[in-house]
């Protein structure tokens, strides 16, 4: 049985254009219909269904909210959920071929495994570094010749790892220097460091050395992309395919090929063509079917306006399932700050009118 959606929920997709893009569920759009805010009604329509969860990513459906809400969460995930990253690099020695500023930039981009909840923001960038807002790492590496290189193989170039010691600066060479009570804060957790130990940061040759002190702080993606906790945070709208006229069985295969694999089912006995509602989300909505005159009148393509298929990939200390609640938390924090300010403004204005009335 094909799933049917209220036509008001559908964004129509034509061969050359999309229409019915804007949502219409607000007061004044339809005569004598109440579309004003109602939490109970909203809760009845709201659905969240987690589809897939891995150690790095999550796919879930968010159904029954407006695009402005879904987009707010997406934007917060990219730009406003805090993480820890290296912000200051003090270079004592760097004789490698990578210049200080390029190396510093590379260091900043290393994802760290530190739970941001354990750290505080610096209230200003020039604030004094304390054990609550800064983590210190040291890098000290000198490349030397290997005193006992393995015997060279015939017709083969000797590899740098055989000839030299410490010929690569890797992310695992960052050594955490606990300060203050940091040791007890991170007790029982994996020690602060890069999430991936094998990121190549610089290549060295005998005689070259790097000696640096790195300060990691808490920040948000809108300040610098290195603080963004996600690799991607995106959503698509659920595709909806409606077959309006039966597809003749001889054309079934051709019709099936107009869509992504698995989206169109063909009954092996009757040759009846139908849409697989479980797999319709896999469709890329290429509109290929609309290019063929024999199909153009038999199918209607659309997307469901309030059905968001979220995909979030973590690239930070947050497990993927924790990212969305963090985004909601950040959103609610913002709302509460604005609301307090608005209420204070209201009280202030009421206060002034009262005074005037007394004076009059």
Contact residues: other proteins, CB under 8 A: 22-24, 26-29, 31-32, 34-37, 39, 42-43, 46-57, 60, 62, 65-66, 68-69, 71-72, 75-76, 79-80, 196, 321, 324-325, 328-329, 331-332, 334-343, 345-346, 349
Q: How far is the CB of 6 from other proteins (least distance, A)?
A: 16
Of the two residues 167 and 281, which places its CB atom closer to other proteins in the complex? Answer: 281
- Give the DSSP letter of residue 266: E
Separation CA 199–CA 1 (nearest Å): 51
Of the two residues 140 and 343, which places its CB atom closer to other proteins in the complex? Answer: 343
Separation CA 1–CA 9 (nearest Å): 19
What is each CA distance from 40 to 44, 49, 118, 335, in whole angstroms?
Answer: 6, 19, 36, 20
Of the two residues 34 and 187, which places its CB atom closer to other proteins in the complex? Answer: 34
Q: How far is the CB of 141 from other proteins (least distance, A)?
A: 24
Separation CA 357–CA 352 (nearest Å): 9
3-state secondary structure of 238: strand
Q: How far is the CB of 153 from other proteins (least distance, A)?
A: 32
Of the two residues 210 and 304, which places its CB atom closer to other proteins in the complex? Answer: 304
Q: Which residues contact 183 (CB under 8 A, 6 or more apart)?
A: none
Q: How far is the CB of 69 from other proteins (least distance, A)?
A: 5
Look up residue 92 and give its two tokens: 């004592």
- Give the DSSP letter of residue 193: -
Q: How far is the CB of 147 from other proteins (least distance, A)?
A: 36
Separation CA 360–CA 354 (nearest Å): 10
Q: How far is the CB of 143 from other proteins (least distance, A)?
A: 28
Q: How far is the CB of 146 from other proteins (least distance, A)?
A: 31
Of the two residues 65 and 212, which places its CB atom closer to other proteins in the complex? Answer: 65
Q: What are phi and psi of 305, to 5 degrees?
A: -65, -30
Residue 2's Cβ-side half-sphere holds a number of Cα atoms within 13 Å equal to 17
Look up residue 78 and give its two tokens: 């990219």
3-state secondary structure of 293: helix
Of the two residues 247 and 317, which places its CB atom closer to other proteins in the complex? Answer: 317
Closest CA to 244 of 265, 268, 274: 274
Q: How far is the CB of 8 from other proteins (least distance, A)?
A: 12
Of the two residues 37 and 187, which places its CB atom closer to other proteins in the complex? Answer: 37
Of the two residues 7 and 68, which places its CB atom closer to other proteins in the complex? Answer: 68
Q: How far is the CB of 360 from other proteins (least distance, A)?
A: 15
Of the two residues 27 and 149, which places its CB atom closer to other proteins in the complex? Answer: 27
Question: What crossing angle do the helices spanning 320-359 and 67-79 adopt, rounded to 10°?
Answer: 110
166 Ramachandran zone, left/alpha/beta (phi>0; psi -120 to 50): left
C-alpha torsion sign, points 64, 69, 75, 78:
negative
């Amino acid at each position: 049985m094909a799933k049917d959606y209220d036509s008001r929920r559908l964004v129509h997709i034509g061969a050359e254009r999309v229409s019915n893009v804007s949502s219409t569920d607000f007061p004044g759009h339809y005569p004598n219909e109440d579309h004003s805010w109602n939490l109970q009604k909203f809760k009845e329509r709201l659905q969240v269904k987690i589809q897939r969860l891995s150690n790095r990513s999550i796919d879930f459906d968010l159904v029954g909210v407006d695009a402005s809400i879904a987009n707010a969460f997406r934007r917060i995930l990219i730009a406003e959920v805090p993480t820890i990253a290296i912000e200051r690099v003090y270079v004592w020695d760097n004789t490698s071929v990578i210049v200080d500023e390029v190396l510093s930039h590379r260091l900043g981009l290393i994802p760290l495994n530190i739970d941001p909840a354990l750290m505080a923001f610096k209230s200003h960038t020039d604030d004094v570094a304390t054990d609550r807002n800064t983590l210190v790492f040291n890098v000290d590496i000198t490349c030397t010749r290997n005193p006992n290189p393995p015997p060279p193989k015939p017709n083969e170039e000797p590899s740098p790892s055989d000839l030299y010691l410490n010929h690569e600066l890797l992310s695992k060479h960052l050594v955490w220097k606990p300060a203050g009570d940091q040791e007890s804060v991170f007790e029982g957790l994996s020690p602060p460091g890069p999430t991936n130990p094998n990121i190549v940061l610089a290549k060295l040759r005998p005689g070259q050395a790097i000696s640096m002190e790195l300060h990691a702080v808490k920040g948000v993606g809108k300040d610098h992309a290195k603080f963004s906790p996600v690799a991607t945070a995106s959503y698509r709208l659920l595709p909806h395919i409606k077959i309006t006229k039966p597809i003749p069985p001889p054309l079934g295969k051709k019709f099936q090929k107009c869509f992504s694999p698995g989206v169109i089912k063909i009954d092996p006995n009757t040759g009846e063509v139908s849409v697989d509602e479980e797999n319709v989300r896999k469709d890329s909505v290429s509109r290929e079917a609309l290019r063929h005159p024999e199909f153009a009148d038999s199918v209607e393509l659309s997307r469901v306006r309030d059905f968001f298929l979220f995909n979030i990939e973590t690239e930070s200390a947050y497990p993927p399932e924790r990212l969305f609640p963090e985004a909601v938390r950040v959103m609610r924090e913002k709302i509460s700050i604005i609301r307090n300010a608005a209420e204070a403004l209201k009280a202030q204005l009421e206060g002034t009118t009262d005074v005037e009335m007394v004076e009059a």
